[in-house]
Amino acid sequence: MTGTGHTLISGLIVATLVGCTAPPPDESGWNEVLLEDRQLKDQFFREAPDTPILLDRRGTLLPLHYYAPDSSYRTPAALEVSPEQPIFNIPTSTGVIRPMQRVGVLEFALRGKPMRLSALAETPVRSIDSLFIMFKDPTNETETYAGGRYLDLPRTASGLYDLDFNRAYNPYCYYNEGYDCPYPPRENWLEESVPAGERLAPGYTGFGAGVIPPPPSEEATQTTRPNALPNQQ
């Protein structure tokens, strides 16, 4: 498909999402379910044997801190599947380079502004039950984890998604430096602030609060065809 054709189709998708014909997310019980899920996550992080938060950090980090629920940061999105399924070499919090495959691009309008985010998956891809979204935005400088935040979206047959930034969460390496967390690729750096979802604990200056990801190198950001990768297991 030519670049002009791609742009035309992308524009039509975004126009549909912005217009009145796009089905709005179901608002029934949304706020209650969101708050309940946040409480359950606090309970898991406090009590589960495999919690990522070390015992001496729980008093500072728990309960987790969030922006107040805001439905204006919840929007319908359409997935444009990437025909070539390119693979990125993504830098991580431990300095390891991790290959990830682009499943497609989510196109949506947030507070009236058209945006795009790549949906990625670990390689090799065997089955995809959900889309993995990593993104950065200007809140990372002062209010949210410096390395960006994540979203998980259950896979749909229709290609339409309920993209709710109120469910954006910090990666585990924010709580514990023992975890290896990929940084969002530059194409997922949003110019607009997204003050929704999980944020930093007030006054927390421990590991993860001010981690700045390394600048993307040519090696770390290049894309390749899947069959060009050497011996991926």
pLDDT tens column, 179-221? 888 999 999 999 999 999 999 998 776 555 445 544 444 333 4
The pLDDT tens digits for 120-149 are 988 766 567 889 999 999 998 789 998 899
**Distance from chain centroid for Cα 166:** 11
pTM beyond cutoff 0.85? no
Has residue 46 got a pLDDT over 90? yes
For 92, 112, 136, 144, 191, the CA distances from 139, given in Å and listed in that order, are 20, 19, 8, 6, 10
Residues ≥6 apart with Cβ < 8 Å to 58: 45, 46
